[in-house]
Amino acid sequence: MYRYAAFVLLLTSGIVFQLSHGVEVEVKDSKGDLCIYANLTVDFSVSYKKNDNKTGVAEFELPSKVTINGSECDSKSSLLKLNFGGHSWSVNFTLDGEKYQADLITFSYDLSDKTNFPDAESNDTLTITAKPEIKDVVKDTCYSCKSRDMIQSDAVNQTLWNVLMQAFVSNNSKSGELTHCAADLPATTAPPTTHAPTAAPTTNASATTAPPPTTPIPTLPTPTVGKYSIKKDENSTACLLADFGLRIGLKQGQKYQEMNFDPNGTTTSGRCGVNSSDLIVVSNSMTIMLTFTNDTKKFRLHALNITGKTSSGVAFSEANTNLSLWQAAVGASYMCNKEQNYTITSALTLFTFDLRVQPFGVKKGVFSTAEECQSDAESFLVPIAVGVSLLVLILIVLAAYFIGRKRNAATGYESF
């Protein structure tokens, strides 16, 4: 659920109170002029070691009460620092000519916080850094990104969304002009490329054309099918179900490669909502976030965010929040057993195998009746059509045979 923030900034203490999960802050320079504006939501997922040698996962969000102590502004570099409950989250900006960017996000978390880290083995404060994809922001504009941007690093996943930030503010006021993130921009309409001769191409009206590979692509085995589910709580049955095998096609520069997603040892999280549901699947090398929406009649895959590292250790992050895939009636499931390929962005192609999903209306923890994709339906129509054709041919041959016999019998009678 997206809720809008309201805030009161107390300059004397640097504390921000607000009524929703997003936080809105203003940082002022030594002259009292506005130099950084930020309105954003950040969700955290942190893995930590517990006293029983098991691994715990802390999931929390940037709270409604933060301080901005430690934030500072300069003509060429600025730092936004948000402090909460012994933890801190900061992002530094640098200005280069007429554009600025966010160079680094730093997140420090205190394991002695027993509310978020119960039974933690250590009381240490740990720090991780990550490089966000916030760049080429035009000076005197706000960076805007409503899409969810998951940033993965070590034991921490950070998801930024509903972001509106401006560094190097001039004239003591936030700009009304926006520089949008790539994930919020509409994609060019184009059909997806065909991966294999046996795969029927699937139309994705909101995806871009995948570039052709420049080097031979090694043959990969069929991906292992993973089975994933989300529960609202430990005592309830599944409210979201998904079975699929995935292959990722990725272009980085002039290099194109494909990687199978390995479901073994993955962790699954997410949420079941009324109009929107999320499934997050994390493996050793990749994090995949699927967002489904419904209009009370049909559901669809609305957004896909994939981050991770290639086999050579190169990081990547691709997202599209304007998809219309895997559509079926609410209360039913969507199924497509045949291999399908979808062009998600200009650099990312998704291949699915033995796909079945139901993000809404799951009853008793099992899939409802499936609505099949066109390729599966055609696979049944072909043998039926062949069978009908053979039957018609047999009937024609039999009819010709009996007509011939009847004529021969009549001719023999007359000549007698």
The model's pLDDT over 87-139, given as tens digits with 9 standing for 90+, comes to 999 999 999 899 999 988 999 999 999 999 999 999 999 988 888 889 999 99
Q: State the pLDDT at residue 284.
A: 87
pTM of the model: 0.47
Q: 290 and 254, same structural domain?
A: yes
Question: What pLDDT is stored for residue 101 in this prediction?
Answer: 92
pLDDT for res 164: 94
By three-state DSSP, how is residue 10 classified? strand
Res 153: pLDDT: 73
Instruction: Note whether 176 and 246 are same-domain residues.
Output: no
Co-location of 22 and 170 in the same domain: yes
Q: Please answer whether residues 188 and 208 qualify as being in contact, where contact means their C-beta atoms are separated by less than 8 angstroms.
A: yes
Per-residue pLDDT at 203: 39
Same-domain check for residues 180 and 264: no
One domain for residues 386 and 279: no
Q: Report the pLDDT value the prediction gives residue 416, as an integer from 0 to 100.
A: 45
Q: 3-state class of 403 per DSSP? A: helix
Q: Looking at the structure, do residues 389 and 368 belong to the same domain, yes or no?
A: no
pLDDT score for 386: 67
Indicate left, alpha or beta for 178 from its phi (over 0: left) and psi (-120 to 50: alpha).
Answer: beta
Find the domain containing 404 and state its range: 381-416
Residues of the chain with pLDDT under 70: 1-21, 154, 187-218, 375-386, 408-416
- Residue 148 corresponds to which tokens in the numbers above? 């969810």
For the beta carbon of residue 404, count every other beta carbon within 10 angstroms: 10
Same domain, 356 and 398: no
Q: What pLDDT is stored for residue 218 in this prediction?
A: 61
Q: Tell me, what's the pLDDT at 412?
A: 57
In a domain, 216, yes or no: no
Total number of domains in the chain: 3
Q: Is residue 50 part of a domain?
A: yes
CA dihedral 138, 143, 149, 152 (to 10 degrees): 70
